[in-house]
A = this chain, B = another copy of it.
Amino acid sequence: MKLVTAIIKPFKLDDVREALSEIGTSGITVVEVKGFGRQKGHTELYRGAEYVVDFLPKIKVEVAVVADQVEQAIEAISGAAKTGKIGDGKIFVTSLDQVVRIRTGETGPEAL
């Protein structure tokens, strides 16, 4: 099982969620984060003092899938989150050793 984590632009969340549900993922977890990659932020003035807004608001989307589904998930997310502009975000994939559904105690792919 794999955990696919995507950092996307906030307003793309709805599209990503729909794209993921279309390929049949069973759930997702999101959190607001701030970050920067190549998109470096910009300078603002607040009351005359410079203010580097280097961290821009992003949404982190986590979806746990069976290993087979990883490619599909990446494609779904990339397709939905892409605007072609800088700051579109990144996807990270990590391995899950175990998954447990608390309510039933099911484990492994069953639990997804």
A-side interface residues toward B, CB under 8 Å?
2-3, 6-8, 17, 26-38, 54-55, 58, 60, 64, 70, 74, 77-78, 81-103, 105, 111
Query: Is the Cβ of A100 less than 8 Å from the Cβ of B88?
Result: no
21 of the cross-chain contacts (CB-CB < 8 Å) are A27-B90, A28-B35, A28-B36, A29-B35, A30-B35, A64-B92, A70-B98, A77-B102, A78-B100, A81-B102, A83-B103, A84-B103, A85-B103, A88-B103, A89-B102, A90-B99, A90-B102, A92-B96, A93-B97, A94-B96, A94-B97
| Nearest chain B residue, comparing its CB with the CB of A61 | B35
Q: Which residue of B lies closest to A63 (CB)?
A: B35
